[in-house]
Structure 1
Amino acid sequence: MTAALGDPDQWQAQVIPLTAEALARKCTAIAAYQSQVSTFFSDTADLEAKVGGYATQVGGERLWQPHR
């Protein structure tokens, strides 16, 4: 990872809040790829619960950007 991304300390997390609509669209987008559902979740309800739970835990969508 370091070879590809450089020093981890050079990256900064930014959290973007997600509306209920944005979260629903994210789940719909993930569910469009059945291999994602069958690989990472037991079904779409599990997908929605886990993605929603993570968004609640993080406070939205976490993006990583290089320090400026």
Structure 2
Amino acid sequence: MVKIIPNQNVKVDYFDNQLKSKDGQLQSNISPYTQIVLINGQPFSSTLTNRNLVVVYCPVTKKCPCQNYPL
């Protein structure tokens, strides 16, 4: 579960080696400022690719797949 916050979206899906969701609707772009944490708030330092992820983001484009910068 996630808290509903205006202007934020949440995607739970499998992300491949290019951080594209399994359904092809979302492509994540990770910046040096992106917070990557475990469910308990601890920093996550392993690779994000080829995993099930919960991505909280603001959409920044209308092309498909949606390009985003996770919050």
Q: TM (normalized to structure 1)?
A: 0.24
Larger radius of gyration: 1
Structure number with higher relative contact order (C-alpha < 8 Å, ≥ 6 residues apart): 1
Structure showing the higher strand proportion among its residues:
2
Q: TM (normalized to structure 2)?
A: 0.24
Structure showing the higher helix proportion among its residues:
1
